[in-house]
Structure 1
Amino acid sequence: MALLDDVIDASGGMSRWNSLDRFTLHLSVGGTLVSSAGHAREFKDVTAEGSTRAQSVRFTGITGGEHSGSFQPDAITIEDLDGEVLRTWRNPSLAFPEAGLPALADELHLVFFCGVAIWNHLTTPFLLAHPDVVVEELTPWRENSETWRRLRAQFPAHLIMLAQEQTFYFDENALQRRMDHDLFGMKVAHFSWAHDSFGGLVVPTLRRTQTLRPDGTAIAKPVLMDVEIFDAAFE
């Protein structure tokens, strides 16, 4: 697909991506999904280490530097700084006991949600070329004075995503600027900007999640999730 090829090339190319196995990020995560439950400091100034091949992310320095948290599809764990497992959530699911924002009040839920979101963020657009992902180009979208091209992706059940169907938007430079999907009964958009190059890969260093009106335009507040990447390394 021509658009997907352009997008992958703009982000560093498939050859470079295929040569990598791991990523390390220095980042902060905020927004009402975190702060509304009294967890505003949980993901401030943390390190995220993960695999580019499998869904696996480990956060070091959460809870104000007191704990680590690990996300894998079959288990979420909270550990102390010595690596002792304090809590475990087996076979996690976005279908939390109670739908809506209060479900993220638990530290395990926060690690799960941020793990899925950060892994999705870091592996896009290369993940869209996976043979089990079905992609189709949609009609372009007018975002203020710009025209963004769009891809709709259907992800297989074996990948844990915030939603199995997502729509991606790319600017005139073929860089990702937005991604839409359903979340907790809402329509949301993740806006991405401030792209930077790290080891040959181009990554958006700022990301903001907002709810959408029926016409697809974003509602300014509340900001559900704010991600800032200070540094990134790939190997």
Structure 2
Amino acid sequence: MALLDDVIDASGGMTRWNSLKRFTLHLSVGGSLFSGAGHAGEFKDVTADGSTHTQSLRFTGITGGERSGSFQPDAITIEKLDGEVLQAWSNPVLSFAEAGSSALADELHLVFFCGVAIWTCLTIPFLLAHPDVVTEELSPWQDSTETWRRLRAQFPANLITLASEQIFYFDQSGLQRRTDHALFGMKIAHASWAHDSFGGIVLPTLRRIQTLQPDGTVAAKPVLMDVEIFDAVFE
């Protein structure tokens, strides 16, 4: 598909991506989803280490720097920094389509949600080339100043994502600028900008999730989730 080829090339190319195995991010995550559940500072100034090709991610420095949290599709753990397991959740299941305000009520659910969100954000658009992901180019989206090309993606059950169907927007340079999907019973949009290159892989260093209004425009408030990537290392 021409659009998918273009956006993968703009983000560094599939050859470069396939040569990589791991990443390390220095980032902060916040927003009303976190503060509303009593976790306003849980993911401020943390490190995330993960695999580029399998859903595996470890956050170090959560809860004020005192703990780490690991995400894999079959296990979530909360640990002391020395590796002692404090809490564990085997074979976690959380339907983001059905979950309500209690979805982020405890640290295990929080690590699960952030693990899914950050790993998916980090691996897009390369993840869209996965053989089990079905993609379809849609008509372009336009406002008064810009035209963005769009791609609908249907994710398989064996990939844990925030929503099984998502619509991605890419600017004229092929860089991801927005993603629309359902979350916790709401229609939401991820805005992404401030792209930078890290070891040949281009990432948006700022992301923001807000609700979509009935006319398809993005509501100014609330800011459900803010992600800022300070640095990224690939190897």
TM surpasses 0.5: yes
Query: Within 2, Cα distance between the matches of 1:93 and 1:40?
Result: 24
Q: How big is the shift at 1:145?
A: 1.4
Q: Secondary structure at the match of 1:163?
A: coil
Alignment of 1:1-235 (within 5 A): 1-95=1-95, 99-235=99-235
Q: How big is the shift at 1:102?
A: 3.0
Q: Which moved more, 1:121-130 or 1:142-151?
A: 142-151
Q: What amino acid sits opposite 1:7 in the alignment?
A: V
Q: Which runs of no fewer than 5 residues in structure 2 stay unpaired? A: none
Residues 70-101 of structure 1: CA distance to partner in whole angstroms, max 9, x if unpaired? 000011100011100000111112237x8322
Contact 1:94 1:162 in 2 (8 A): no
Query: Within 2, Cα distance between the matches of 1:90 and 1:142?
Result: 44
Query: Within 2, Cα distance between the matches of 1:122 and 1:192?
Result: 12
Query: Within 2, Cα distance between the matches of 1:198 and 1:144?
Result: 32
Query: Within 2, Cα distance between the matches of 1:142 and 1:76?
Result: 41
Q: Secondary structure at the match of 1:162?
A: coil
Q: What amino acid sits opposite 1:30 in the alignment?
A: G
Q: How big is the shift at 1:37?
A: 1.7
Contact 1:212 1:218 in 2 (8 A): yes
Q: How big is the shift at 1:161?
A: 0.4
Q: What amino acid sits opposite 1:193 in the alignment?
A: W
Residues 93-143 of structure 1: CA distance to partner in whole angstroms, max 9, x if unpaired? 2237x8322321211111010000001101000011111110000011114
Query: Within 2, Cα distance between the matches of 1:22 and 1:33?
Result: 28
Q: What amino acid sits opposite 1:99 in the alignment?
A: A
Query: Within 1, Cα distance between the matches of 2:91 and 2:139?
Result: 37
Q: Secondary structure at the match of 1:230?
A: strand
Query: Within 2, Cα distance between the matches of 1:230 and 1:35?
Result: 21
Q: How big is the shift at 1:144?
A: 4.6
Residues 139-178 of structure 1: CA distance to partner in whole angstroms, max 9, x if unpaired? 1111451111000000111000000111000001110000
Q: Secondary structure at the match of 1:179?
A: strand
TM-score norm. by structure 1 comes to: 0.97
Contact 1:196 1:202 in 2 (8 A): yes
Query: Within 1, Cα distance between the matches of 2:102 and 2:133?
Result: 31
Q: Secondary structure at the match of 2:33?
A: helix
Query: Within 2, Cα distance between the matches of 1:29 and 1:143?
Result: 29
Query: Within 2, Cα distance between the matches of 1:93 and 1:109?
Result: 10
Aligned pairs, how many?
Answer: 234
Query: Within 1, Cα distance between the matches of 2:126 and 2:188?
Result: 22
Query: Within 1, Cα distance between the matches of 2:144 and 2:183?
Result: 24
Q: Secondary structure at the match of 1:34?
A: helix
TM-score norm. by structure 2 comes to: 0.97
Contact 1:190 1:208 in 2 (8 A): yes
Contact 1:154 1:164 in 2 (8 A): yes
Regions of 4+ moved over 6 Å: none
Q: Secondary structure at the match of 1:115?
A: helix
Structure 2 CA distance for partners of 1:85 and 1:137, relative to 1, 3 Å: same
